[in-house]
Amino acid sequence: MMVTERQYGGHSAEARRLARHERLIEAAIRVYGEVGYRNATVKAVCEAAELTERYFYESFESSEALLIAAFRTVSHRLIDCLDRVRAEHGGGADERCHAVLRTYFQALKDDPVGARLFVLEISRVGPAVDEAGAALLREFGELLSRTLVPNASARLKRGELVRAGVTGAVLEITKVWIRGGYAKSVDAVATDALKICRVLAE
């Protein structure tokens, strides 16, 4: 005999579980961005999500797993935004890349909590977190390559090391800029980053 899943408030158990999962991720983004991953506790994240700690372990096996989920959420939101700018921009390669970089730096400045998680809190936590960061850098590098050279697909593999160097340099510029309190204008820092990114078009 089929057992019908019990509904509460019109939502299934699975829908409620997914909602709690998303609440924990959004809470982690805020908490890690405000106090830092290493200073945060499971209790603090759960309080921010207005959930008890038992629900944390329903969704995540460790704090590191939640950090990865929070980082990927912030990263993909930003990458999706940058890709839309790339796809919709009608100018030349330099103008298009500057627009993408300007959007990148403006987004980080507008959301310092997310910026801290995206750029600073991901460093030197553990192998799984390192891999999540490396995957994001590869994705970012491929986006920058497509921005400068729209038909770059055939070049992506052979330019892998150069792309890694370029994205690493852009990330270092970002770290220095953030730690310096965003003192340099968004346009100026985007122009500086563009000088490095032009290597991808060679």
Q: What pLDDT, in 10s, does the model give residues 142-174?
A: 999 989 887 766 555 557 888 899 999 999 999
Element (H, E) at 12: strand 11-12
40 vs 193, more confident: 193
How many helices (H) and strands (E) in the chain? 9, 2
> Would you give the distance in Å from CA 106 to the centre of its chain?
14
Mean pLDDT of the chain: 86
* Stretch 49-59: mean pLDDT: 89
Residue 152 is predicted with a pLDDT of 61
How large a percentage of the chain has pLDDT more than 90? 49
Q: Inter-axis angle of helices 127-148 and 63-88, to 10 degrees?
A: 0
Digit-coded pLDDT (tens) for 104-114: 999 999 988 77
Q: Which two tokens stand for residue 12?
A: 């299934």
Top-confidence residue, 113 or 30: 30
- Rounded Cα distance between 51 and 28, Å, is 12
- Best CA proximity match to 137, nearest among 167, 108, 114: 167
Which token pair is 120? 């600073």
Give percent above pLDDT 70 in the chain. Answer: 91
Two structure tokens written together for 69: 């989920």
Residue where the block lists tokens 């921009």 = 89
Domains annotated on the chain, with CATH: 63-201 (1.10.357.10)
Report the alpha-carbon angle 149-155-157, nearest 5: 135
Per-residue pLDDT, 143: 93
* Statement: residue 12 has pLDDT above 90: no
pLDDT of residue 28: 93
**Residue 10: its pLDDT value, please?**
56
For position 3, what pLDDT does the model report?
39
Average pLDDT over residues 26-45: 90
Q: Tell the burial category of 151 from Cβ atoms under 10 Å away from its Cβ (0-12, 13-18, 19+).
A: exposed
Model confidence at 116, pLDDT cuts 50, 70, 90, reads confident
Q: Which two tokens stand for residue 182?
A: 């965003």
CB 190 within 8 A of CB 101: yes
Among left, alpha and beta (phi > 0; psi -120 to 50; other), residue 40 is: beta
Q: What is the pLDDT of residue 139?
A: 92
